[in-house]
Amino acid sequence: MNVRLSQSTVRGTAQAPPSKSYTHRAILAAGYADGALVHDPLVSADTKATMRAVTAYGGSVGLRDDESVLDVAGFGGQPETPGDVIDCANSGTTMRLVTATAALQDGLTVLTGDDSLRSRPQGPLLDAIEDDLGGRAESTRSNGQAPLVVGGGVTGGDVSIPGDVSSQYITALLMAGAVTDEGIDVYLETELKSAPYVDITLEVLDAFGVEAEQTADGFTVSGGQHYEPVDGEYHVPGDFSSISYLLAAGVLAAEDELTITSAYPSAQGDTAIVDVVDRMGGDVDWNQDDGVITARRSDLTGVEVSVADTPDLLPTIATLGAVADGTTRIVDCEHVRYKETDRVSAMAEELTAMGASVDEAQDTLTIHGSASDLQGATVDGRADHRIIMSLAIAGLVADGETTVEGAEHVDVSFPNFFDVLYDLGATVDR
């Protein structure tokens, strides 16, 4: 699906979609439990992949009519060997988290996904399961990428793993380690990138009654624990990765003001977007008690931003930089190349096609806003929800019409994104 956008102003109120990161973890945590009700989940292509995995391991996931509650029947910490291949589609979070689940069962689980997912690195997690924990974990092509074959009935132990490839490896091991006999101690070989995502994991584990903690050189979770949330329920907070696009729309195109609700504080690292916009000179106010952000069109100035802990913000910040005066440097971004697509190159190439002046290095993306003049163009969304939404926001301020190709992939994290933009007054043609 292609979506066409024209220069527009926006105003009104938009509710932030639920957090994808929290929803993934809550669904799997409910699977490790005897079951739970997950309130306000994000129901998207990615989270449906995690639902399928929980079902494959012997649980079940039911969605109530208004999609506001998931009724999860769990497998009680003892996953069954799936009767078929688990297709994780495009969800890297699903694949990594449920790979560790597969290591708990005595049989073998086969995990695969689409072309993009089959190109993403899984090797460190496979090595941890096989070399450190004594399970079986193989890449069928012996290249550290899916399809994967995993099993072996691991009982816990010590794991040494790099922290600069994906924090999801640590999340997977902590979640599975709680139901092993011995627990798992994770020792980090390198500095941890995307650390706030492990903070999210620790927060969800705590909500499900599981104790895990950070240590001087990694993380630890004791074994023999039981997942059980208070009153059998868990409530998913709003998603700040998705809020970033709405906030960008506000400071770039809000005629009066744009109000974003369900923006409550949490462990999400992407809450940093509020500070980034404020540093750029954006007129933004966050009432944390009420969970409300208001933003107004502002004259922005370029800044330097590290995305070491907030990789999902790079596309949004790049778009803001293309409109800001001066230069915006996004640093510590090499790991952002290993997402659904190489997001560093994708944003460099597509913003350049729209008239931005961009310099790309391996670990840095520099946008020269003063030398940029965004013009409508046909841009490739790269089948990546974050690229698509960021380019759509650029289309709100570009001169002329912008066509974003492959726009249907927003269903990964923000299925009604274009409906929300339309309701806020943007000129959107689907």
Angle value at C-alpha 322, between 320 and 328, nearest 5 degrees? 75
Residue 8 assigned as binding residue: no
Bridge partners for 138 per DSSP: 149
Does residue 312 carry a catalytic annotation? Answer: yes
Residue 167 assigned as binding residue: yes
Tokens coding 344: 């560093």
Residue 21 assigned as binding residue: yes
Residue 343 assigned as binding residue: yes
Contact status, residue 338 vs residue 358, Cβ threshold 8 Å: no
Query: CA 215 to CA 236: how far, in whole Å?
Result: 27
Tokens coding 329: 């440097």
Tokens coding 137: 């974990």
Contact status, residue 90 vs residue 114, Cβ threshold 8 Å: yes
Catalytic residue from among 127, 312, 380, 384: 312
Residue 120 assigned as binding residue: yes
Q: What is the DSSP string of 174-205?
A: HHHHTTSSS-EEEEESSPPSSHHHHHHHHHHH
Query: CA 372 to CA 318: how far, in whole Å?
Result: 12
Cα–Cα separations (whole angstroms), residue 262 to 165, 201, 243, 342: 31, 20, 9, 30
Residue 64 assigned as binding residue: no
Q: Which sign does the torsion angle of CA 15, 17, 22, 28 carry?
A: positive
Q: Which residues contact 393 (CB under 8 A, 6 or more apart)?
A: 245, 248, 249, 252, 316, 319
Q: Which sign does the torsion angle of CA 35, 38, 43, 47 carry?
A: negative
Contact status, residue 26 vs residue 236, Cβ threshold 8 Å: yes
Query: CA 330 to CA 351: how far, in whole Å?
Result: 14
Residue 285 assigned as binding residue: no
Length of the chain in residues, anyone? 430
Residue 20 assigned as binding residue: yes
Residue 312 assigned as binding residue: yes
Give the DSSP letter of residue 81: P
Residue 160 assigned as binding residue: no
Binding site listing for 3-phosphoshikimate? 20-21, 25, 166-168, 194, 312, 339
| Catalytic sites, residue numbers | 312
Binding site listing? 20-21, 25, 92, 120, 166-168, 194, 312, 339, 343, 386
Binding site listing for phosphoenolpyruvate? 20, 92, 120, 168, 343, 386
